[in-house]
Amino acid sequence: MLNRTIQPDLKTVDKIDFVNPTIYDITSDVKLFFMKDVPNETTRFDLYFDAGNIRGKKGIPTFASSLLLSGTNEKSSTQINNEIDALGGFMESGLSAETSCITMYCLRENMLPLLHVLTNAIDNVAFLEREVTELLADKKQAFLMNMEKVSYLAQRAFQQRLFNSSEIYSSIATPDFYENVEIETLKKFFKNNYQNGLTKVVVVGNLDQDTIDETIDTLGKWVKKGTCEFEKNIKNLPGQIHIQKENAVQTAIRMGKILFNKTHEDYNDFMVLNTILGDYFGSRLMSNIREDKGYTYGIGSMVAEYNHVGYFMIATEVGKEVKDATLTEIKIEIEKLQTELIEVEELDLIRNYLLGQLLKSADGPYSMMDLYLSAETHGLNFDFYNKAIKDLHTITPERIRDLAIKHLVWDEMTIVSAG
């Protein structure tokens, strides 16, 4: 007779077979990372530029990124979009504080034609007045809509106070961004940060050597000369503020502090602590605030990484009447981690869970490449994950408690609520 109360025997991940990408030097500073082992027709390529939000003022990086395919003196934006669609390309552009990235998904037979359409359109972008005006109106509308969301209001005030000591990192969009933009400023930014700003190229797909060679030839003209400088010392402004939003039925909470990234010796173990607190479905915060109290649909904690720094954040949307109760419970959960040792069963569970998730993050060529890139950005490689596996097997309850005491100091937190 089947005993349904007993869990089947478990095995733990002890080793993951990481597959390194092939690395080509476009120049000594700018590399192309290539993952060939794709068992189907799909391809992806990413172009990274030193054109993140910190590189310009008053929304210039955002506008430049959005206008890359807005037309040349020969071709309208609609013609360019037609060409991309006729080749089955799905393009995404991503902009973060420190980088701008263009990603194209397509079938491998269309990879080079798409690369040429894209580079031609970008290289000759004319920043036509009509396109710029249209974009400003669209962005303004999107901005006004975002300002209706408590999550956006909280996030933006949080960013301001989190990066408090750096003017450029703490800069957030304001309505005047959308009133007027100097086309010459856009052009100058484009020339410096795109046409002379390529910092990295990534290609995933079952492509031959000629294709890679041609990719390097095509993109060589854009490479950035010299290294990129990023902020190393940033301090957040501790303390709590509330942003009033009439008629909101929920309150958004964002709280956290400046921390570190993968290069810090506490990183791996802190990620275990972060998972326990708020980074999986069974986390302390989810168990207490969602599954026990029912205050929210979701609550989570995370670590975000920049080139030289990182930050820790807890984010949630809760019923407006339980904002203070939620903050109290978050505080209680952090204090528990600082005063009580985690039980062996819970730590085992976290270890097994994280190992399983790492295995999943290395499943397939696309995931494998992303995992690699996430280390490469910090000058690391797959050795980082091999060490992480080792650290997971040796971490102790005492170490977790000590890290909570060291890094989760309530009085150091920036706390923002909006609702």
Partner 1 sequence: MIEFEKFKLDNGLTVIFHKDITTPMAVVNTLYDVGARDESEEKTGFAHLFEHLMFGGSVNIPDFDAPLQNAGGESNAFTSNDITNYYDVLPNYNLETALWLESDRMLSLGFTPKSLEVQRNVVIEEFKQRYLNQPYGDVWLELRPLAYEEHPYKWATIGKEISHIEEATMDDVKAFFQKHYNPSNAILCVAGNFELEYIKEVVTKWYGDIPSGKKPARILPLEPEQTKFKEKTIERDVPTDAFYYAFKMPERRDPSYYIVDVLSDALGREKSSRLYVSLKKEKQIVSNIIAYITGSIDHGLLVISGKLNNGKTFEELDIALWEVLDELKKNKMSDEELARLMIKIRTEKEFSEQGLLNRAMNLCTFELLGDANGINQEAEIYHAITPDHLLEMSKYILMKTNCTLLKVKSTQDAK
Near partner 1 in 26-65, by CB under 8 A: 39-42
Which one of 318, 334, 404, 413 is in contact with partner 1 (CB under 8 A)?
318
3-state secondary structure of 177: helix
Which one of 86, 341, 405, 409 is in contact with partner 1 (CB under 8 A)?
86
Specify whether the CB–CB gap between 300 and 278 falls below 8 A: yes
Site string for partner 1, 368-407 (x = CB under 8 A): ----------------------------------------
Token digits for 40? 């189907």
Which one of 20, 23, 74, 137 is in contact with partner 1 (CB under 8 A)?
137
3-state secondary structure of 405: helix
Residue 396: CB minimum distance to partner 1, A: 19
Q: What gap in Å lies between CA 252 and CA 155, rounded to an integer?
A: 9
> 179: number of CA atoms within 13 Å, CB side?
3
Interface region with partner 1, contact rule CB under 8 A, candidates 83-91, 233-241, 262-270, 372-380: 83-91
**Which one, 313 or 354, has the nearer CB to partner 1?**
354
Which one of 126, 241, 248, 373 is in contact with partner 1 (CB under 8 A)?
248
Which one of 25, 74, 144, 409 is in contact with partner 1 (CB under 8 A)?
144
Asked if 92 interacts with partner 1 (CB under 8 A), we say no
> DSSP assignment, residue 213?
H
Task: Indicate the angle between helix axes 129-146 and 183-190, nearest 10 degrees.
Answer: 90
* Beta-strand relationship, 310-319 and 296-305: antiparallel
Asked if 232 interacts with partner 1 (CB under 8 A), we say no
Interface region with partner 1, contact rule CB under 8 A, candidates 28-36, 95-103, 165-173, 242-250: 242-250
> DSSP assignment, residue 27?
S
Give the total of residues touching partner 1 (CB under 8 A): 72
Which one of 232, 247, 265, 344 is in contact with partner 1 (CB under 8 A)?
247
Which one of 364, 374, 397, 399 is in contact with partner 1 (CB under 8 A)?
364
- Tell me which residues in 184-223 interact with partner 1 (CB under 8 A): none
- Tell me which residues in 251-310 interact with partner 1 (CB under 8 A): 280-282, 290-297
Q: Where are the alpha helices (DSSP H) in 316-396?
A: 323-339, 344-361, 365-376, 383-394
Which one of 72, 171, 250, 288 is in contact with partner 1 (CB under 8 A)?
250
> DSSP assignment, residue 67?
T
Which one of 74, 96, 124, 145 is in contact with partner 1 (CB under 8 A)?
145
Q: What gap in Å lies between CA 22 and CA 405, rounded to an integer?
A: 42
3-state secondary structure of 205: strand
**Which one, 148 or 182, has the nearer CB to partner 1?**
148
Residue linked to tokens 């419970």: 329
Which one of 93, 160, 196, 352 is in contact with partner 1 (CB under 8 A)?
352
Chain-centroid distance of CA 224 in Å reads 22
> 198: number of CA atoms within 13 Å, CB side?
25
Which one of 149, 188, 235, 242 is in contact with partner 1 (CB under 8 A)?
149
Residue 61: CB minimum distance to partner 1, A: 21
Q: What gap in Å lies between CA 368 and CA 360, rounded to an integer?
A: 9
Which one of 82, 96, 124, 174 is in contact with partner 1 (CB under 8 A)?
82
Asked if 329 interacts with partner 1 (CB under 8 A), we say no
Which contacts qualify for 230-233: CB closer than 8 Å, 24 or more apart? 230/54, 230/98, 230/306, 230/307, 230/308, 231/54, 231/166, 231/168, 231/169, 231/306, 231/308, 231/309, 232/308, 232/309, 233/165, 233/309
H/E element, 50: none
Residue 321: CB minimum distance to partner 1, A: 11
**Which one, 95 or 299, has the nearer CB to partner 1?**
299
